[in-house]
Structure 1
Amino acid sequence: MKPASFVPIVIILIVLSVSVHADTNTTNTTTDDSFLTKLFIDVKAFPNDGYGFVQLLMVGAAYGYILMVGSNMIKDGSELLLLVPSLAGVVGSVVLPVLGAVPDGAIVIFSGLGPDAQTQISVGIGALAGSTVMLLTVPWVMCLFGGRVSINNNGEYNYIRDKSNPEWKKLDPEGGFFNSGVRCGPLIGYNAKVMIVTLVSFLIVQIPALVKHCAKTDTKEECNSPPIAALVGGIVAIALFCFYLWDQARIANDDEAKEGKIDEVRKKALERGLMSIRGLLPLDQIRDRDGDIAIDKDSKRFKAFLRPFFRKYDVDGDEVMSLEELELLLRDMGEKPSKEQVKDIFDKVDTDHSGSISFSEFVEMMCDVLENNDSLHPVASLTTNGTRVVEPLLNKESSRSGVHEGGASDDENDGEDNDEEEEPEVPEDLAHLTPKQQQRRILIRSFGTMGLGVFLVLFFSDPMVDVLSSLGDRIHVSPFYVAFVLAPLASNASELIAAYSYSKKKTEKSMTISFSSLVGAACMNNTFCLALFLFLVYFKDLKWEFTAETVCIIAVEMAMFFIALRRSHPMWTAVVVALLYPAALGLVNGMEAAGLD
């Protein structure tokens, strides 16, 4: 376990120690003797002064950080499942979206379970609205900045390398801000249409509430929104949730965004030494109908997967690979062959005895390696204390300097250069395992990481709701606004970082991956999280007094729907999208000031 893994545990201990200290020095105002009440401090017990406010902020920051760590652990653990070929298709289509919605869903649930549910439910609707609006605006703008390329005078986006121009760059620094932008695949437009369909549940509960005058502040006490509307809306939301998962699984084999995400996770695992190339692409599973890479020298996707590694180890950038470069590459792919094995493989591919192999020859060679699982055996040695270590790389520094911006591009490649370099760190518990053993170990590690992440999220969501509610009371602001701004920072940080990371690759595929994940998260909020919210309203007999919040969500999603229909996104769209976030808050505030709840 890395030292950073202990940070959440240390923070938990600090929070608990603060709770015990506060309980012994203040009078607990609650009579609830539940387990969580005894474990976590009642934030209402903090002094109603500056010191108490600082204490509240510190505890809130600790809870928020733990929720963020838990969300990241859920994301990291679920992405590990993408490394198991037989599970990759269903994980990318079903598991990742569901687990990504767990943090927001937990906050929604706990906001409506307390004794003061009608008041605290504002935290839940704030987290739901804030998560949706934030994911569709802030990371969208970040992705536009991270993935933008120059637009030439013909309106073409600068993704294809100009081989006649040695100074070619995707983004010309002299081109100007508004002469740049991004392009994405047609999948974003399709997902945006699905997002609009999932808004139906909001309308089912909101329209009857308007008929009952639940939007008027002067008749707020008389609001009696029909409970059956919340129940029907929740059932429809669950049905749309199931439809969304089915639809994503249906298009999984033709979904370039999901394929790209799976490939990126595999590349990272290979670069970090988490698994070997044969552990990632086992022949007995790779031909399943799950959207995985086919081991075929003519496979466009297989070539795209291997090309970054070929470029990385083509140190001199001459579009061919020498014997020494090939040895470095195979070792970093987890194969660890002997020098004699590398020489035999090289001589077999180098039929013209030129002393180098081209990319097409390299692809053919990798097909042979993957199809013959016994051709290369990992070589490990024992230190004096008996610890198993992997044989060190030859001239590792030269392999790190082998990344060059001007690498060659094949016909199907749109310029996926410059993957961020990371030093491979082969875990000792995986280095000596066979491919099947590596996959079993990955499954164990994945479920362990996800389980701990889910535990942290569920365990700390309830006290976090109390903190957000109390913070709103102390600064005399509706808890909705506090949750709208702060809750997504803890629950959706992983989606924001992942989307921006993909966008920096500056390709159409990477932009499709980034935007698709954001629109997909909005769909999950409209179905999974909203269903939980509506069931709370029904079973807790709460009033639906969220007209302004509902209009805010629908307005932002409608605006993003028209933007997402475009495949080309010049940078002026970043300005429009950036303005939607403050406009959403202004819309809620304006509607409430005008007499709408």
Structure 2
Amino acid sequence: MKKFILIFFLVVLQFAGQGGSKVLQKAAAGFDGESNRVSDGVDYRISPRIIVKPTGENVLRASSCEQTYDCLPCTTSILGNLFLMVVYGYLMFRAAMYMSNGSQMLLAVMGPGIIGGLFLPILGAFPDALLVVVSGISGSKETAQAQVLIGMGLLAGSSVMLLTALWGSCLIVGKCDLSDDSLAVNSQDTRRFSLFGSGITMDKSTSKASRIMILSIIPFIIVQITQIIHSSSGKRITVLVACITAISCLLCYCLYQVLEPWIQKRRIAYAKRKHMISVILRNVHSRMKHLGSLLREDDQPNVDAIEKIFKTLDKDKDGYLSRGELRGLLLGLELQDRHTTVDDALDKVMSEFDSTTDNQLDLKEFREGILQWLHVATSTVDQSARYSIKLSIFELRTIEELDFLQKEEEEELIEVDSPHKVYLKAVLLMLGGAILAGIFADPLVDAVDNFSDATNIPSFFISFIVMPLATNSSEGVSALIFASHKSKRTASLTYSEIYGAVTMNNTLCLGVFLALVYIRGLDWDFSAEVLVILIVVLVMGLLTSFRTTFPLWMSFIAFLLYPLTLAIVYVLDYILGWS
């Protein structure tokens, strides 16, 4: 069915353009642009960023069009170009879906690492990067300078759409009831659209992804330095430095993603350690309660109780705790990690407490070890909690964290019966998507440019609104599906994907754009566009960097930012004349 739809679109596409398609030379012959008029010495060419009715040279463009690849249709009518944008946009959407599906298949059978850290992010940003290249790679320098606005519109529009429209939509779709301690209750959505009673909760790793996204705007700041200091010299050098910085940030981000499995394993090991600490402390506290609480009412460690526990465990009264004496304390531990045994816990205690490595603990080693563990426990728990329940809260949190991380680890790899067939299908999907994107990127840019000429609407606004729908729809659909599962884990995955996509826009796509500007010698004159990117990334990034729960009302902040960015660009560029 999907193949039939594609073929149908291509057939209709060819017939749709026959009536309005004209070869540029024929149109030029019908318009005497080089008549025998006497020049008054004034150049009346209109800047492509000013909203005016076409005159002179622009009339020629408005009354004719040039077929892409000398075979694909083109038209000068508004409806015709709108139809072409829809068709080419759909084809770019299919290309993005093919590449996304193929890379996800590889990720499922091969796990993260090179696939998840390098190929997946780059393939996700490939359609955007390709459109950026196409927008300014062909034609004369003047044509490229005019069309490169389309690339900037896509670059800004993608980041803004992801952090506003998609961010807010995922919050609405994934909302759950918020408990009394402001945490979302998984799969429970009884409060409907309560602005303060429903929302989502994410893990701390998602906040880290948000902070990485904020760092990715550094190249934007660098390229604007000459504009900020109002200097006309050094613009090309600044563009080059910003380009190198963007590519460097991209490489660092990909390296971080490649190493993420190692980081994930360390996180799991650390979570297991904290869980073991919580269980042992709780076990000691419950069994030795008659000797005193491990924490005093002022939340300070009870050293006297710790020393009494040591003396009680020291059965032979030799001033040392042997492995056998410690084993009696650890018997009956209920560890969340099914692979950890009492012997493992005993080894952990000895490795962390036995500073003299003599395979036994004296009073000082035992006391210092327990004090260190109590510090880990109390520093993790809200300080307003009562001392008597802090250890219980700490244990509950370690269970939740460990369960979350182990589920991620278990779902990383999927066993398949015929991996070679999966590899082949994945490669074909990615290759087909890349070819499809490569073929129809240029026609889409031409259609946007022609629609801009036909409607007198600046191409930036068209590409800002329309083109991200084509290139980011697959990410949007995936994010909404994840969010609809209504759990902390899926919410974390959803927003991590969004922040990762914006980071790739700010590194890969910007790096490609800056390289294009530098190589072709184009002017960097996009202060308003850069400003809206900085505003949205900083507002949403800072909003999500220091909290993990987001009530429903925050979705309105995201939604309002979208029209605000369009208004800012319009006012700065077309009223105040920034560009």
Unpaired runs of 5+ in structure 2? 30-63, 269-337, 340-398, 405-414
Match of 2:530 among 550, 565, 568: 550
Alignment of 1:57 onto 2:82: yes
Q: CA separation in 1, counterparts of 2:192 and 2:12?
A: 51
- 2:201 and 2:549 in contact (8 A); partners too: yes
> CA offsets, 1:507-561, max 9 Å, x none?
1110110000000011101110001100111111100010000011011100011
Aligned-pair CA distance for 1:18: 3.5
- 1:88 and 1:290 in contact (8 A); partners too: no
- 2:128 and 2:509 in contact (8 A); partners too: yes
Q: CA separation in 2, counterparts of 1:28 and 1:499?
A: 48
In the alignment, what sits opposite 1:201?
A: 219
Match of 1:453 among 396, 418, 433: 433
1:303-314 equivalence runs, <5 A: none
1:71-90 equivalence runs, <5 A: 71-85=96-110, 87-90=111-114
1:360-371 equivalence runs, <5 A: none
Amino acid at match of 1:463: P
Match of 2:247 among 227, 238, 244: 238
Amino acid at match of 2:237: I
Q: CA separation in 2, counterparts of 1:557 and 1:17?
A: 43
Alignment of 1:482 onto 2:480: no
- 1:548 and 1:587 in contact (8 A); partners too: yes
Amino acid at match of 1:594: L
In the alignment, what sits opposite 1:118?
A: 145
In the alignment, what sits opposite 1:40?
A: 72
In the alignment, what sits opposite 1:182?
A: 200
> CA offsets, 1:15-60, max 9 Å, x none?
234345544799754899999431223x4xx34xxxx221111111
Amino acid at match of 2:240: L
Q: CA separation in 2, counterparts of 1:173 and 1:210?
A: 48
Q: Cα distance 1:25–1:207, how it changes in 2: closer, same or farther (>3 A)? A: closer
Q: Cα distance 1:157–1:538, how it changes in 2: closer, same or farther (>3 A)? A: same
Q: Cα distance 1:176–1:493, how it changes in 2: closer, same or farther (>3 A)? A: same
Q: CA separation in 2, counterparts of 1:131 and 1:192?
A: 16
In the alignment, what sits opposite 2:171?
A: 144
In the alignment, what sits opposite 1:7?
A: 5
In the alignment, what sits opposite 1:510?
A: 490
> CA offsets, 1:436-459, max 9 Å, x none?
761100000001111111111111
Amino acid at match of 2:70: K
Secondary structure at 1:157 match in 2:
coil
> CA offsets, 1:383-442, max 9 Å, x none?
xxxxxxxxxxxxxxxxxxxxxxxxxxxx759999xxxxxxxxxxxxxxxxxx77611000
> CA offsets, 1:336-373, max 9 Å, x none?
xxxxxxxxxxxxxxxxxxxxxxxxxxx99xxxxxxxxx
Q: Cα distance 1:437–1:552, how it changes in 2: closer, same or farther (>3 A)? A: same
- Aligned alpha-carbon RMSD (Å): 3.4
Aligned-pair CA distance for 1:182: 0.5
Larger CA Rg, structure 1 vs 2: 2
- 1:89 and 1:290 in contact (8 A); partners too: no
Match of 1:96 among 106, 116, 120: 120
Q: Cα distance 1:177–1:212, how it changes in 2: closer, same or farther (>3 A)? A: closer
- 2:168 and 2:559 in contact (8 A); partners too: yes
Q: CA separation in 1, counterparts of 2:214 and 2:501?
A: 13
Q: CA separation in 2, counterparts of 1:211 and 1:111?
A: 29
Q: CA separation in 2, counterparts of 1:503 and 1:111?
A: 34
1:115-514 equivalence runs, <5 A: 115=139, 116-159=143-186, 170-173=188-191, 176-212=194-230, 226-255=235-264, 438-514=418-494
Structure 1 stretches of 4+ moved >6 Å: 24-27, 30-35, 289-292, 413-416
Q: Cα distance 1:533–1:172, how it changes in 2: closer, same or farther (>3 A)? A: same
- 1:209 and 1:544 in contact (8 A); partners too: no
Unpaired runs of 5+ in structure 1? 160-168, 214-222, 256-288, 293-362, 365-410, 417-434
Identity of aligned residues (%): 28
- 1:136 and 1:560 in contact (8 A); partners too: yes
Secondary structure at 2:466 match in 1:
helix
In the alignment, what sits opposite 2:508?
A: 528
Secondary structure at 2:200 match in 1:
strand
Q: Cα distance 1:174–1:11, how it changes in 2: closer, same or farther (>3 A)? A: closer
Amino acid at match of 1:442: V
Match of 1:575 among 556, 560, 567: 556
Aligned-pair CA distance for 1:173: 3.5
Q: Cα distance 1:4–1:204, how it changes in 2: closer, same or farther (>3 A)? A: same
Q: Cα distance 1:290–1:455, how it changes in 2: closer, same or farther (>3 A)? A: farther
Q: CA separation in 1, counterparts of 2:402 and 2:183?
A: 13
Aligned-pair CA distance for 1:505: 1.0
Secondary structure at 1:182 match in 2:
strand
Q: CA separation in 2, counterparts of 1:291 and 1:173?
A: 34
Q: CA separation in 2, counterparts of 1:517 and 1:140?
A: 11
Q: Cα distance 1:240–1:93, how it changes in 2: closer, same or farther (>3 A)? A: same
Aligned-pair CA distance for 1:157: 2.5
- 2:113 and 2:257 in contact (8 A); partners too: no
> CA offsets, 1:133-155, max 9 Å, x none?
00111111111111111123443
Secondary structure at 1:181 match in 2:
strand
Secondary structure at 2:530 match in 1:
helix
- 1:225 and 1:543 in contact (8 A); partners too: no
- 1:129 and 1:553 in contact (8 A); partners too: yes
Secondary structure at 1:112 match in 2:
helix
- 2:177 and 2:197 in contact (8 A); partners too: yes
Secondary structure at 1:84 match in 2:
helix
Secondary structure at 2:492 match in 1:
helix
Q: Cα distance 1:247–1:477, how it changes in 2: closer, same or farther (>3 A)? A: same
- 1:137 and 1:578 in contact (8 A); partners too: yes
Q: Cα distance 1:28–1:8, how it changes in 2: closer, same or farther (>3 A)? A: farther
- 2:112 and 2:258 in contact (8 A); partners too: no
Aligned-pair CA distance for 1:464: 0.6
